[in-house]
Amino acid sequence: MTHQLSHANHAFADYYPLEREGLAVCSRRNMLKASMAGVAGLSLPSLLETRAAAARQGKPISKKSVILLWMTGGPSHLDTWDPKPDRPFNNRGPFETISTAVPGIHVCEHLPKQAAMMDKFTIIRSVDPKHSSHQPNQVIQTGNREAAPRVNPNGPMYPAIGSVVSKHHGANDPGMPPYVVFMKHPTHVAWGGWLGKRYDPMVGNKATVLPEYDLLGKPLNRKTGANLFKLPSGLDMDRLASRRELIKNLDQIKYGLDQSGSVEALGVYQQQAFEMVLGQRAQEAFDISREPQTYRDRYGDHLWCQQTLLARRLVESGVAFVTLDLSYHTASGTWDNHGIPGGVYGGISKGLQPLLPLFDHLLTTLVGDLDERGMLDDVLVIAMGEFGRTPNMGTQGSTDGRNHWPVVMSMSLAGGGFRHGQVIGASERDGGHIKERPVTPGDLAATIYYHMGVSLNTMYIDSRGRPRAVVLEGGKPLREIV
């Protein structure tokens, strides 16, 4: 956890341009900070050169991307995508089941919009989340069961799938960061780890104006300030461009001074850092006010809906991987429906039920919008959390709460040019264990890498110089959809 928090607190993390201890572009030293701030994670110059060469030769440039809707806390599979209507109440839960547009597939009654569009979705009911926990939430987001900081000291060092994509695919546009997260807390997302800080995600919260909510989801009737792209008084774009030339002149000495890797990282992405500050593409993509009012109304003014609209804007502008932390709470997450009396998380009826119509709306609005824009084949939309919930309700003294259940979970996929309108795998009659077709974190990682054109044989080097694979457990792309 210490490692994760350090990503949020180091001097270059959130690109505070008006605060001296964040990013204050008012000296040579701070100019270095400017080029290393939250854009850490931008792709290698060689990758850019390769893409530029491909463009000159008339070869198509990849537009593939991923939007991960991270249901922080671990949503109940039994009360969403894997209902058990014939089971006793204590097992099946309080919700009814509805049919979908695909005969034979049924989901929770509070997901009617997804049910109507089920031909565009794949539901996986046999995901094996063994060893997955939260705070930090890394096993599923890295595709690696060893990425469990609570039990493994090296857990925080396994790179996020988004970070691997950042390194080996890069952004789809050089003026955009490759990997962006909107997060409620650093422990809710995975980071660059052994790949290095340059492959950490850019934290998008500081780049746009969003509504604020308290830890329980109550609107505070105010909005965050967006100062990521604002320059301090006295510094204009011409002066910033001049300082760009200054940075070039420091190239010969910076590597000799580097001890931590941060200065070395400067050489990797300084070009793109300046591109983001001097250019307009990133600023416009993060500026939700530029979106036509009809689409802003279509998504809605809730925080999660606004972030979903931003995710669409970002992938449309060239970001390759966007993670949305769907949580109000900074602790384990809003989907952690224990229902403990007096606790902050309600059970299934009071905790989960209010989330589902909101989630149903943002998920289907996103998929429908991407489809209408002709982007759905390029954008893989993933909705999932850390693990499932216990088969029986009433854990921890609650009436209808469910505890963590890292034995089986469900998830949903759309887009990516894959075959949909199906269910993969199944759980046992009570939803307590996998019955058939186990899907591992390695399989999920392999499917994402396949979509993004990242070799499944990709390796990286850990701090001891040992090679490590990005796809483990013999993971393979899901044969049912590819």
pLDDT at 235 over 70: no
Which H or E element spans position 268?
Answer: helix 262-278
Q: How many CA atoms lie within 13 A of 270 on its CB side?
A: 21
Give the tens place of pLDDT for each residue, 244-270.
Answer: 555 554 554 454 455 444 544 445 445
Give me the residue spans of the domains in the chain: 2-469
The Cα 234–Cα 177 span in angstroms is 27
Q: How many CA atoms lie within 13 A of 144 on its CB side?
A: 23
The Cα 458–Cα 475 span in angstroms is 13
Given phi > 0 = left and psi -120 to 50 = alpha, else beta, which region is 109? alpha
Residue 115 pairs with which residues in a beta bridge?
Answer: none
| Class of domain 2-469 as given by CATH | alpha beta
Give the tens place of pLDDT for each residue, 451-471.
Answer: 999 999 999 999 999 999 999
The Cα 468–Cα 458 span in angstroms is 9
Instruction: Tell me the pLDDT band of 12, cut-offs 50, 70 and 90.
Output: very low
Among 81-85, 304-308, 396-400, 434-438, name the one with the lowest average pLDDT: 396-400
Q: pTM value?
A: 0.84
**Lateral strand order in the sheet of 409-415:** 202-203, 179-182, 321-325, 65-70, 379-384, 409-415, 121-127, 422-424
Q: Could you list the beta-strand ranges (E) of 282-332.
A: 321-325
The answer to whether the CB of 187 falls within 8 A of the CB of 4 is yes
For strand 211-213 and strand 219-223, is the pairing parallel, antiparallel, or unpaired?
antiparallel
| Identity of the amino acid at 178 | P
What is the three-class DSSP state of 156? helix
Among 55-64, 294-303, 419-428, 448-457, name the one with the lowest average pLDDT: 55-64
Instruction: Tell me the pLDDT band of 343, cut-offs 50, 70 and 90.
Output: confident
> Residue 423: which of 436, 432, 433 has the closest Cα?
436
Q: What are phi and psi of 247, to 5 degrees?
A: -60, -40
The Cα 247–Cα 232 span in angstroms is 19
